Structure 1
C-alpha cells in the first residue's frame, strides 16, 4: 500500500523504520514543524523528519493538519493508509477522510485504558503491572476508534517511563506493520472499544514532577520513574530547584518527611513512610551527578530538609 506516515519524536522511529523495510511504500511523512531543542534551544528537525530525509522521502510539516495546502498535497499523494505514531497534533475530519483506509494510530497503552497524551507515564505512575500498545483507526473522539490489534508488556519493578516506552516502541512497530498487512489483505477488521475501563492520561507537566516527601515512599518511587527522563523529578533545597533521578525505597526508619541523611555510600530522604534513596541529582547550573557526590559538595547539615 501507499503510506503517508505521521510522527514526530524518537519513539516513532522504530515504526517508520519497520514500515520502510516492509512490503509497503512510504511516499511521504507528516511531522511537526522544526522547533527549538536542547540546552542551546537551536531549531532542529524532528527525528522523524531527519530519518525521512536520509531515505529521500518527502517531508510535510504543516502548522496545522487543517491547512488547505497540506490537505491538497496529501490528496495528490493518493495514500491508501496513513499510519500515525506520536504525531503530536489534532487531525480534523477533513484530513481523516483523505486516505482510502483512514489513519491508523499506534497508541502506547491497552485501550480503552489511558487514552490521551501520556499513557506510558500514567501506567508507571499508577503502578500498573501490565500495559502495552494498541493499533486503532482514528476517529474524531480522543483515542476512541475501533481497535485492530494489541500487544502487552509487563511493567518491570524499576522501569522508568523512558525504559518502558523504548520497549513498547519496538514491539509496537511490529504490531503496526502486521496491522497494515492485515488491512491490505482484508484479513483484519477493527473491533469497537469497550465502554468499560476507560481512563485518561493528560499531558505531563513540569509541576507533575515535583516530589512531595510527605507522600509514601512507594508513591514517590512511581512518580519519579514516571517523569524520567522527561520532564524529570524535582524538589527544592535551600530555596533552589534540584532535579532528581529516580528514587529507591529502603527499609529504614527514623527520618521525618524531607529530612536528609548522608551516609558514605548513599543519601536518604524521609517520606510519609520509610525513606527513599536518592540516585542522581542536578543542582541549578550544574551537571547531573551521583547523589553522594552532590551531598559532599554542598555539605549538608544535620536536620536539613528537601521539599
Structure 2
C-alpha cells in the first residue's frame, strides 16, 4: 500500500528521512509516530505525532508544479481569511508555508491535525444538524472573492464531454448508455445563464470532517475554481448526502433548503437547473472513477467505491424525472 502511494511522488528514497527533516524544519518537536493517510487522491498525506502535538504533512504529488502548489496555498489562505473551518497551516523556520526538502526535492505543507472522522470513514451521510453546519461553511466558501487561476479539474461537470471521450472505451454497454443520456441532459442546461462564483468543487464525504468537538471542517481545496454556483450544491447532493436510501431528488431538495437557510442565494434559473446538474455530477463521479482506475492507474480502495456509487446513482437519478 505504501509503495503504491509513494509512486505519486516520483520518489523511491526513504520517506521516513523526509518526515524527520520536515518535523525539524517546521519545528514540530520530536517525532513519535507517523502514519500514511490512505484516503484521498494525488498527494501523499501523513498523520504525524510528536511530543508537541499532531499534524498532517501533505507532500505534493509529482503532478503538481510550483505554480499549482502556490495556487493551493493561496486558496487555503483565502478560505481561512473568510472564516471557513479548515485546518490551519504552519510556517517553516524560514517563515514560509511551502517547504521544499532539498535532498529529495519534495515540496510540502504542514497542517494542524483535526481529531475526528470524515463521513467516508463513518460510512454515512450528514444528519440534519450536520448538514446545517456544512451549508453554513459552503455559503462562506461561495462568498470568497479570491479568483484563483484556472485549473483543469477532470471531475468537474463542465468537463463532462472531455471525460466521456477519455473513458467510453472502458465502459460496458449499460455504462455508455447512462453516460450518453447524462451528456444530453448537460447539453440541455442553460449554462451561460448560471451565476458563477468561487467553489470548493469537491465537498464530498472524504473532504468533510466531523471533529470530536462536533465542529465541521472542509478540507482539500485542490480543485477550487470559478464555476457555476450549482456545481457546489450538485456535488454535495450526489456524493456527500448519499445514504443508499434517499433518492437524488430528495437529497437535492435537502441541500438546497439548507443552503438557502444558511444565507445562500439561488436564482430561479439555478433552482430549475439544480437537479439536472446534480445528475451530471453523478455521471462525473461514475466516469471519473473509471478514468482514475483505467487511464491514470490509481488503485486506491475508494476508486471501487466511487465506481459502484456512481453507476447506481446514475441509474436512479436518470430514472427519477
Q: TM-score, normalised by structure 1?
A: 0.27
Kindly indicate which of the two structures has a greater share of residues assigned to strand. Answer: 1
Higher relative CO (Cα under 8 Å, sequence separation at least 6) belongs to: 2
Which structure has the greater CA radius of gyration? 1
